[in-house]
Amino acid sequence: MILEEELRLENQRLIEHLRFMGIKDENILKAILQVPRHLFLPRSMWNVAYADDALPLEHGQTISQPYTVAIMLEALELKKKDKVLEVGTASGWNACLIAKIIDPGIIYTTEIIKELVEYSKNNIKKLNIKNIKVIHTDGSQGYEKEAHYDKIIVTCACREIPLPLLKQLKNNGIIVAPVGSEYSQQMYKIRKQGNKLKKDYLGDFIFVPLKGKYGWD
Ligand code: SAH
């Protein structure tokens, strides 16, 4: 009980820190409070669950840094009822944040590593969030079955934005993705406007690489 209160206080402190760093969208900050990050990590890491750092998961993957996630979610301009595609479920934390913000919209999140599909499903179950579908597939090819999407978020590093993702985005939809080399990427917010793409640069970040057909495999 005391531990839970301490973790909640740490979550509050993380939110104050994100506010201080310039994150203004109250829906995002509220979602971070409602989706406790420690539940997406092994118990041995609960002491660092609310540090503003990326943290290691199994299979060489990571749970993204809270500040990075907040920047990406702000750029997506999420609205209630949005239909969202995520590439890279890993722990499922980011998918849960999005699910809370867009409810009753739905998020399809794709993960290429089978064990992480199971891991994220278990994490999502703990919070009883229903508007997420975790799909074990190569998300570099998108998820054609449910296209088109209002928003697409890529939480691993791409060499360039995979063409299927651009095709599966609705007109006026937004895609946010880190693009660059395997070791450092530039984050872009891209809005599809007819056959044109409006690109905004959001800063430099480091992500684990995108695998699959349009990735580094
Ligand atoms: N959003 C996550 C962090 C993502 S880490 C969270 O909230 O915890 C990046 C993830 O992308 C890893 O789990 C990796 O296995 C996955 N990944 C890499 N290439 C992929 C692909 N082609 N399709 C789907 N997932 C992929």
Q: Which of 104, 65, 112 is nearest to 82 (CA)?
A: 104
pLDDT tens digits for range 77-96: 999 999 999 999 999 999 99
Protein residues with CB under 6 Å of any ligand 1 atom: 61-64, 87-88, 90-91, 93-94, 110-113, 116, 138-140, 155-156, 208, 210-212, 215
Provide mean pLDDT across the span 13-29: 98
Provide mean pLDDT across the span 1-8: 85
Burial class (CB in 10 A: 0-12, 13-18, 19+), 9: exposed
pLDDT of residue 60: 86
- 37/40 Cα distance (integer angstroms): 6
Cis peptide before 66 (omega within 30 of 0): no
pLDDT of residue 190: 98
CA of 5 to the centre of ligand 1 (A): 31
Percent of the chain at pLDDT > 90 equals: 95
- Which amino acid does the sequence have at 50? Y
- The domain locations on the chain are 4-205
pLDDT of residue 217: 75
Q: What HEC string does 82-105 produce?
A: CEEEEECCCCCHHHHHHHHHHCCC
4-205: which CATH topology? Rossmann fold (3.40.50)
- Name the band, by pLDDT with cuts 50, 70 and 90, for residue 2: low
Percent of the chain at pLDDT > 70 equals: 99
Mean pLDDT across the chain, nearest whole number? 96
CA of 208 to the centre of ligand 1 (A): 8
Provide mean pLDDT across the span 190-201: 96
Provide mean pLDDT across the span 14-30: 98
Residue entry with tokens 């640069």? 201
- 1 pLDDT above the threshold of 80: no
pLDDT tens digits for range 126-167: 999 999 999 999 999 999 999 999 999 999 999 999 999 999
- Which amino acid does the sequence have at 149? Y
CA of 2 to the centre of ligand 1 (A): 33
